[in-house]
Amino acid sequence: MNPSASGWVTKFGHVLKDQTFLFENMALFNQLKTLGFLYGFNIAIPKFIITEHEASIDERTKINLIYAMYSAYVAYYNSNSTKENTEKIRDFNLFLEQITTYYKGLNSVKKSLFEGFLGETKKDEIVARIIDQRVFIEANIIHKTFGNFSLNPYLTIDYLGFKRFLSDPDHYVLALQQIEKIGILLIEKSIELFKCEKNQIELFQKSMLLKEHKLLPTNRNDFHLSTEEVQYLIIISSLNILPNKEDENNLSNYINFTAELLRVSPERIHLERSDLETFIEHNKKQIPGLKTMATGEQLYENLSFLVNKLILRNSKRLQKEIKGSQELVRLITKSTHSDLSTQEKKKIQEQLLDIFKSIPSLAIFILPGGAILLPIFIKLIPKLLPSAFDDNRIP
């Protein structure tokens, strides 16, 4: 399965046919925590999902989001075991319809995503578009092409909202409003106490599901957040604490604020914080978001991530095309152990662009400004092509 190619949602449905989903109480929630989905890191995907290449972070995010929502869908209909509900579980298209209806009711995705370009759009294509828009925060194709994008770290709210939608379709928007309202309060309080930059609140606001939805009244005495919803808000609080844990005075104030706001004990917050720190310690090498990077460094990392994925996805065709040019092979080999002259760099650029023209998915390299990606390509390609391209590679 390749979440960067068309048809991946249908493939996901096909993979599910041989799987059994039996989650009790908080089992799914805890599994999603292990995968990093609840923390916004997505270090892994469910073991039964096999990808041809190692999944990139955005692909892992897409897989975990649809997996979380599908698991919630199955759990809901399994809770009342009837013949009709069993049929609903078997009907993957019904699941896709439910996702589409859910997001339509939130006005959180562009209406154009639900419309076909020519004729009727398939359900799996619509869902793939929705997921893509939710995973990448306010990033159009040009921004994503040149590394100017951010991944949404708060997609757990999408999953929690979908669970509410299934069980309480009349009030799920109210639940989402409460979750996002409390999320903002928690982040604002952390900025106030720890004197943090305001980029965290901006990121949360861009990720919100209800940013274009009229707020509903919140003075309902009969409304309560679920155990999972409260637990996730504690996780948001813990993520706010993470970079400020040495500030003991304000830390205590923030934990007490969270406990009072969520009506939980401080011990419960300490326990969740401990789980987060353990997760970070075990997986810190896989979490690039923990690095403190300037804007330029972040842009370069995003570009490297993008080019790396494109090369990996097209490695077989690239090998075939590059092998046909002896001069290009010589120049790439030389670039692995010494600097190229200006003339050699120009030659390698011209020949690579000719190759990229023959591979549609690499068309970004021939767009205006696409040449800025070539140095990253040249840096990454020796790692992905056969050892013959690198004379100094040690087996």
pLDDT in tens, 187-226: 999 999 888 777 788 888 888 888 654 444 545 455 688 9
- Say if residue 142 is in the same domain as residue 277: no
Is residue 16 predicted with pLDDT exceeding 80? yes
Q: Of 254-263, 302-311, 384-393, where does mean pLDDT reach its minimum?
A: 384-393
Counted domains in the chain: 3
Q: pLDDT (tens digit, 9 = 90+) per residue, 69-87?
A: 999 998 888 877 777 777 7
Q: Say if 160 falls within a structural domain.
A: no
- Say if residue 93 is in the same domain as residue 178: no
Q: Say if 3 falls within a structural domain.
A: no
- Say if residue 191 is in the same domain as residue 274: yes
Integer Rg of the chain from CA = 23
Read off the DSSP letter of residue 220: -
> Could you tell me the residue range of the domain that residue 112 belongs to?
8-151
Q: pLDDT (tens digit, 9 = 90+) per residue, 327-382?
A: 777 777 776 667 778 888 788 777 777 777 777 666 666 666 666 666 666 665 65
Nearest in space to 147 (alpha carbons), one of 372, 375, 384: 372
Q: What are phi and psi of 137, to 5 degrees?
A: -80, 115
Tokens 């106490």 found at: 193
The stretch 312-322 carries a mean pLDDT of 69
Q: Say if 331 falls within a structural domain.
A: yes
Amino acid 80: pLDDT: 72
The stretch 21-34 carries a mean pLDDT of 81
Amino acid 213: pLDDT: 47
29 and 277 Cβ atoms separated by less than 8 Å: no
Tokens 């095309």 found at: 321
Amino acid 161: pLDDT: 95
Any idea what the Cα angle at residue 38 is, between residues 37 and 43, rounded to 5°?
30
Q: Torsion angle, CA of 306/312/317/318, rounded to 10 degrees?
A: 70
- Say if residue 272 is in the same domain as residue 190: yes
Hey, how many other C-beta atoms are within 10 angstroms of the C-beta on 393? Answer: 13
Strand, helix or coil at 291?
Answer: coil
Burial pattern 114-139, b for ≥16 Cβ within 10 A else e, equals: eeeeeeeeebbbbbbbbbbbbbbbeb
Strands (E) across 273-318 are located at none
Q: Torsion angle, CA of 379/380/386/387, rounded to 10 degrees?
A: 50
Higher pLDDT, 391 or 198: 198
Is residue 387 predicted with pLDDT exceeding 90? no
Strand, helix or coil at 68?
Answer: helix
Amino acid 230: pLDDT: 95
- Say if residue 255 is in the same domain as residue 182: yes
Nearest in space to 112 (alpha carbons), one of 93, 129, 134: 129
* pLDDT category of residue 49 using cuts at 50, 70 and 90: confident
Strand, helix or coil at 75?
Answer: helix
Nearest in space to 355 (alpha carbons), one of 321, 315, 384: 321
